[in-house]
Amino acid sequence: MYIPNFPTPTQRVVEYEKLGYGMFLHYGLYSELGRGEWVYHMEKQDMKEYEKLAENFTAKDFDAEKIVLAAKSVGCKYVNLTTRHHDGFALYDTKGMSTFDSLHAPKCGRDLVKEFVDACHKHDVVPFLYHTTIDWHEKSFYDDFDNEYLEYLRKSVEILCTNYGKIGGFFFDGNWWHPKKDWKLDELYGTIRKYQPDAIIINNTGLNNLGRAIHPEIDAVTFEQNGVREPIDRDGRPFYFAGETCMTLNTHWGIAHKDFNYKSPADVIRTLAGCRAAGVNYLLNLSPTADGALPEFQLATLGVVKDWIDIHSEIVYDCEPLYYPRNPKTCANCSVVINRDGKSIYFIMFDNNKIGDSNVTVGGLYSGVVGFSNVQFDIEKIEWMDSGEELKFYQPGDNTLMIDFTGQPYGTDMCVRVAKAILK
C-alpha cells in the first residue's frame, strides 16, 4: 500500500478535521439591502450614505441560542460567524477603536459576537470567527495601510482573542486585495498564538488560489466555491495543513432576495461526501435576514441533508482518506476512507444505479463488480450502510479486492451510497 510522507499534524488540526461539517453565517449591514455582501462595493455606494444603514440595524431576530441549536440539529459541529466583513461594520464591541459596530447601532446596542460565542459554549458547538483583512470603512486602510491599518487589524483580532473565552478558530479573508503587500502575518498570527494557542488559523486565499498555504501558521487551506474529492497532496511539505471547502447555498454569501439559484439537498450531499472522501471539511453558508433570522428554506435544505448524515455519520466525522493508487477506469466514481480507529473502511459510491422498471426508474450509472488494488486488509464483510444488505466480495490474495456493488432498490435514491467493510 502507498504510504504518503506527510508531516505530523498538530492536535488542534486533528480535532478540527474531526469536526467535518460546519455552518457559515454572513450577517451585517449589507443584509438590510438584500443584494449580497459586496453591495457597497459593487454599486459604488457613498460610505456616508451606507453608514446610515446602522441607524435601522436591529438584529431583533438574531437569537444566538436558536441559531446555534439549529446548526447543531442539522449536524454541524462548528459555526463560523462574520464578526466584521469588508464594509467595516463589526458585530462586536470594538472597545473604542470605532463606533461602526452593533454596540453603537442605536436600535441594536448589543455585542452579537459575545451572544454567539456564549451560545456555542453552552451547547457544545465550536465557535469560529470570520474577520475581514480589508476594510472599506476604515480611513487608515487607504491612508496608511502598512502601519496604522495593519495595527488596527491586529488590535481588532486581539479584542476577539481576549474577550470571548475559548475560540475554535479564526477565518481571515481579504489578503488577495493587496497580493504584493506585506500583511505582517507574523504579528497577526502571533497575537492569536499568544492568546488562543489552540485556535485554528485559516486565511482564505480566494477563488483563484485554491488550496494554497500562505504562511507556516496556517492550519487549513481553503477551496472557496469548489467541491473536492481528491485528498490534498501533502507529500514532502514542511508542515501539515488541513483543508476546508466553503460554499454558498445559492450564489451569494449575504442574503440576496433575487437569488433563486439554490442548491438542492442532493447537491449538498454530494459535495459533503466528496469533501469527506478527500479529508476536507465542508463549511456551508447560510444568509440570515436583515433582522438576523435564519431563512426557513435554507434550514429545511440542511434538514434533509441531516437525514442522510444520520445514516452515514461515521464517514462525516470519524474517517480520513485511505491513500492508495486507484485505477481510474474501474473506480473513478468511488472513493475510499478509513475509520480513525482502523477497524473499518468505507467505499463511497457517487452514482450507484437503481433497480426497477425502465418506465419509472431513472438515474444512476454504476453497479456490478469493481476492482481495487493494493488493499492490504483482511475483510470480514461488506454491507450497504443505508440497507444493511451484504455485498459479495473476493480477495484473491494479491492485495486485490473485488466488490459486487448492487443497485439501489426502487423507492430509494441515496444520492451517494456508502458500503462499510468490517476488517478482521
Confidence band for 212, pLDDT divided at 50, 70 and 90: low
- Between these two residues, 9 and 328, which has the higher pLDDT value? 9
C-alpha to C-alpha distance for 128 and 79, rounded to whole angstroms: 6
Confidence band for 361, pLDDT divided at 50, 70 and 90: low
- b/e map 56-95, b = 16+ CB within 10 Å: ebbbeebbbeebbebbbebbbbbbbbbbbbbbbbbbbbbe
| pLDDT, tens digit, 9 for 90 and up, residues 302-320 | 999 999 999 999 999 999 9
Write down the domain spans for the chain.
11-318, 322-423
CA distances 317 to 14, 276, 320, Å, are 11, 8, 9
- Between these two residues, 214 and 75, which has the higher pLDDT value? 75
Confidence band for 183, pLDDT divided at 50, 70 and 90: very high
Find where cell 473536492 sits.
228
| 11-318 is a CATH 3.20.20.80 domain | yes
pLDDT-wise least confident of 293-307, 325-339, 365-379: 325-339
**Proportion of the chain above pLDDT 70, given as a percent:** 91
- Between these two residues, 224 and 72, which has the higher pLDDT value? 72
What confidence score (pLDDT) does residue 327 get? 47
**Is the per-residue pLDDT at 291 higher than 60?**
yes
DSSP letter string, 352-380: B-B-S-TTT-----B-EEEEE-S----EE
What confidence score (pLDDT) does residue 354 get? 66
| pLDDT, tens digit, 9 for 90 and up, residues 320-330 | 988 654 444 44
Give the count of beta carbons closer than 10 Å to the beta carbon of residue 145.
Answer: 18
**Proportion of the chain above pLDDT 90, given as a percent:** 77
C-alpha to C-alpha distance for 59 and 80, rounded to whole angstroms: 17
What confidence score (pLDDT) does residue 209 get? 59
What confidence score (pLDDT) does residue 1 get? 46
What confidence score (pLDDT) does residue 191 get? 98
C-alpha to C-alpha distance for 94 and 359, rounded to whole angstroms: 63
Beta bridge partners of 173: 132, 204
What confidence score (pLDDT) does residue 36 get? 98
CATH, domain range 322-423: 2.60.40.1180
| Rounded average pLDDT over 369-384 | 89
| Rounded average pLDDT over 400-417 | 90
pTM for this structure?
A: 0.94
Task: Tell me what the pLDDT averaged over the chain comes to.
Answer: 91
What confidence score (pLDDT) does residue 367 get? 67
The DSSP call for residue 148 is I
What confidence score (pLDDT) does residue 294 get? 98
What confidence score (pLDDT) does residue 328 get? 45
Q: What is the dihedral of CA 214, 218, 220, 223, to 10 degrees?
A: -20
| pLDDT, tens digit, 9 for 90 and up, residues 136-159 | 999 999 999 999 999 999 999 999
Confidence band for 352, pLDDT divided at 50, 70 and 90: confident
Return the SS3 of 111.
Answer: coil
| pLDDT, tens digit, 9 for 90 and up, residues 15-69 | 999 999 999 999 999 999 999 999 999 999 999 999 999 999 999 999 999 999 9
Residue pair 399/346 in contact (Cβ under 8 Å)? The answer is no
**Is the per-residue pLDDT at 244 higher than 80?**
yes
